[in-house]
C-alpha cells in the first residue's frame, strides 16, 4: 500500500488538488500544524487521515509524517505540489514491481504566477519523494530539506508540478520569513557576516540565477525570480550580521 503524506498549515484552497494527484494511494495522511482556514476539514473531505502536530520545523514535521504513515511505501508531497498524470502512472507501474528499489525520484517543474520556468535556479530539478517505510529520513536545515534514502533510487517519468506562490505579495512575504529562519540556522552553526557579506552574496546569487544558469531565457518571469532570489539572499545575510551584533 502507498501512503501519500502531506504536511500543512492553512492550505485549504490547494490541498484537494495535491491529494487527488495520487488517485490510487491506499492512505492519504495530512499532518497539520494548527490551520485556521478549514484545511483539516478539506483534508477529511478528500478522504485523508488528519493528525494535528505542533510545528517543529520542516524537517522534523516531514519526519513525523513518515513515522505516522502506515503504507509500505510513502510518497511525500507539499500542499503546493501535485503529480502529473504521467508521474502517477509511472509510479503505479513501479510499485507493482519495485525490485530492489529503495526509493523513486521525479523531475520537479516550477511555476511562478502561472508561468513554467525552465531555466535559472528554478529550472527543472530532480527530487526524491518516494521511499519504502523505514528506509529514509528527511535532512537539511529549515526551510530547505531533502529526503535521503538508504538504497537504490530509480528516476521515473512524469513530473511533480510545483506552484509555491499564489501572488507576488505571498512570494515576498515568504522570502522575508524564510530569510529569518535561515539566518537563525546559520547563526546556530556559529557562522557570522560582515557588512559586505549580504551585498556580495546577493550579487553572486543574481549572477548565478540570471546568467550562469540561463534565467534570462525565461524572460521577464526569469528576471523577477532571479531578482527576488538575490533580495532574499541579501535579507538572510543581513539578518545574520544583525543577529551576531546583538549577541
Please enumerate in sequence order all residues whose Cβ is within 8 A of that of 153, keeping only pairs 6 or more positions apart, or say none: 101, 102, 103, 104, 105, 128
Q: Low-confidence residues of the chain, pLDDT below 70?
A: 245-247
d(CA 64, CA 71): 14
Architecture label for domain 2-162: Alpha-Beta Complex (3.90)
pLDDT at 60: 95
Q: What is the pLDDT of residues 168-198, one digit of tens each?
A: 999 999 999 999 989 998 999 999 999 999 9
Element (H, E) at 245: helix 219-246
* Residues paired with residue 2 on neighbouring β-strands, in sequence order: 73
**String of DSSP letters for 190-215:** T----TTHHHHHHHHHHHIIIIIT-G
Query: For the chain, what are the domain ranges?
Result: 2-162, 168-246
pLDDT at 21: 98
What's the pTM value of the predicted model, to 2 decimals? 0.88
pLDDT at 141: 74
Amino acid at each position: 500500500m502507498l501512503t501519500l503524506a502531506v504536511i500543512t498549515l492553512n492550505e485549504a484552497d490547494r490541498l484537494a488538488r495535491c491529494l487527488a494527484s495520487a488517485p490510487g494511494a491506499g492512505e492519504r495522511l495530512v499532518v497539520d500544524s494548527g490551520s485556521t482556514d478549514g484545511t483539516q476539514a478539506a483534508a477529511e473531505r478528500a478522504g485523508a487521515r488528519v493528525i494535528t502536530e505542533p510545528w517543529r520545523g520542516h524537517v522534523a514535521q516531514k519526519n513525523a509524517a513518515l513515522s505516522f504513515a502506515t503504507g509500505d511505501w510513502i510518497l511525500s508531497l507539499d500542499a503546493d505540489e501535485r503529480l502529473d498524470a504521467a508521474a502517477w502512472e509511472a509510479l503505479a507501474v513501479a510499485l507493482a514491481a519495485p525490485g530492489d528499489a529503495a526509493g523513486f525520484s521525479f523531475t520537479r517543474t516550477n511555476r511562478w504566477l502561472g508561468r513554467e520556468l525552465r531555466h535559472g535556479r528554478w529550472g527543472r530539478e530532480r527530487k526524491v519523494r518516494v521511499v519504502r517505510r523505514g528506509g529514509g529520513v528527511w535532512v537539511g536545515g529549515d526551510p530547505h530539506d531533502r529526503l535521503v534514502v538508504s538504497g537504490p533510487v530509480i528516476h521515473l517519468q512524469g513530473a511533480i508540478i510545483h506552484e509555491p506562490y499564489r501572488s507576488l505579495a505571498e512570494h515576498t512575504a515568504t522570502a522575508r520569513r524564510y530569510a529569518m529562519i535561515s539566518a537563525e540556522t546559520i547563526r546556530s552553526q556559529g557562522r557570522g557576516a560582515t557588512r559586505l557579506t549580504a551585498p556580495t552574496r546577493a550579487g553572486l546569487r543574481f549572477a548565478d540565477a540570471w546568467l550562469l544558469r540561463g534565467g534570462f531565457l525565461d524572460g521577464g518571469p526569469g528576471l523577477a525570480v532571479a531578482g527576488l532570489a538575490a533580495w532574499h539572499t541579501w535579507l538572510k545575510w543581513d539578518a545574520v550580521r544583525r543577529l551576531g551584533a546583538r549577541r
